[in-house]
Every structure is written in structure tokens, then in C-alpha cells.
Amino acid sequence: MSLAGKVALVTGGTGALGRAVVQRLVRDGAAVHVPCIVKAELEDCRKTLGEVFAQATIHEANVAREAEVEKLFAAVASKSGRLDVLANIVGGFAFAALSETDPATWQRMLELNATTCFLCCRAAAPLMKRSGGGRIVNVSAGPAINRGVPNMSAYGASKAAVLNLTQTLAQELGADRITVNALVPSIIDTPANRKAMPEADTSTWLAPAEIANVIGFLASPEGAIVTGAALTLSRG
């Protein structure tokens, strides 16, 4: 599943899952671009991933802002001349009853999960068309396919928007040889989740590298016949 000669952009590439995705795509031979606004995460990546992360091109960009997204993709085009893979990993989580969910939280979930995805897909599509096709992988969540989950109104709605956007774009961009898929992972084994759920049984949690392997497949030539899918990732 070689990606030699391909160019990828990974939003949220300095987070727990994003790092694993960057590692996988670099290993497969892609030239990887990573937008980042959290400098502490960036420095930690450089320390923990070493040479692998050094091969990625870092951009200072907030992908929730239209102007910064446009500048980011222009920089990718200028440096690499094409774009073949977009992995939208950036996102956020909120857990609260409706009565405790204020408009700011609602807006923040939509911005972090849905708006970032929309803006990056919109900016990626023209580059991918000029490159002869491409792969877009988004991250949805259980509430989007399970008819909702209590106390996750803002989060669930934003992830449902990601899933619908994915399925819409798969039909809209299919003729341009651009596949668009969404992952629906169960709990991911990250430091943040372990801190939030210290008593939880982590035996069924998903390692970021496992999810990155799925993204690697979807990004590869072998993934060309998968599009518009909501891929549930879990241990049952």
C-alpha cells in the first residue's frame, strides 16, 4: 500500500490519533503536511516521534478559520504541487445534559468537528481534481449512527453533520475519482481518555495505530473502491 509520490495533509496531526496517522502515512512514503496551533503539542511530537515527525511539513494554521485554511492549502500546493490525501482528525468533545449545554459549547462543537471538516474538504477538492483524484477520510462518532446518545447533544449533532457531509461529498466527488469516507471509532486509547475515565476497562479500547492502519488502507490505491462508508471500528 505504497503512497510514494503522494501528498497528504493531516489536521489534528499533533494529537494522539493524528500522530499515529502521520507516522503511518510517512512510513508509506507520503509527503505529509500538518497544520498546528498548539506549540506544546508540536514540541512534544518532535521529541517523541523524532525523525518521522521531522519529515512532515508543519504549518501554523487554525483550520476552523476560512482565511487560514485557504492560506494553508495554497502553501501545500506551492510546496508539493498536488494533494492526494486529506485526513480530518482535528476535533473536540463535550459531555453535558441539554440544560447544561450553553450556546458557546454548541458552537464550539460545530466549529471543531463540522466546520473544520467542511472547510478542509472544500479547499482540498480542487487540488485533488487537478491531481487526478484523491482520498478524504473524516472522523465521525457513535451518536451519529446510533440515533443519538444522552448528554451528547452538541457533540453528537456535530459528528452527525460530519457523517452526512461525508456521504454527500462521496456522491458529489465520485466522478472526479475522489473517495470520501468516515470512521466511527469506539473509545480510543489516548492519555486524555485514560485521565477522564481512570476506572474504565481499557481492554476494548482502540490503539491510535490501529485506526491509523485503516486510514492508511483508505488512502492507498487499494482503497479506491470504498467511498461514502461509515466504517465502525470496535472490538465488538
pLDDT tens column, 48-100: 888 888 899 999 999 999 999 999 999 999 999 999 999 999 999 999 999 99
Tell me the catalytic residues.
155
**For residues 219 and 1, what is the distance between their CA atoms, to the nearest angstrom?**
9
Write the DSSP assignment of 114-151 as a string of letters.
Answer: IIHHHHHHHHHHHHHHHTT-EEEEEE--HHHHTT--TT
Q: CA torsion sign, 76 to 79 to 82 to 85?
A: negative
Domains of the chain: residue spans and CATH: 7-233 (3.40.50.720)
Looking at every residue in the chain, the average pLDDT score rounds to: 96
pTM for the whole thing?
0.96
The yes-or-no verdict on residue 1 having pLDDT over 80 is no
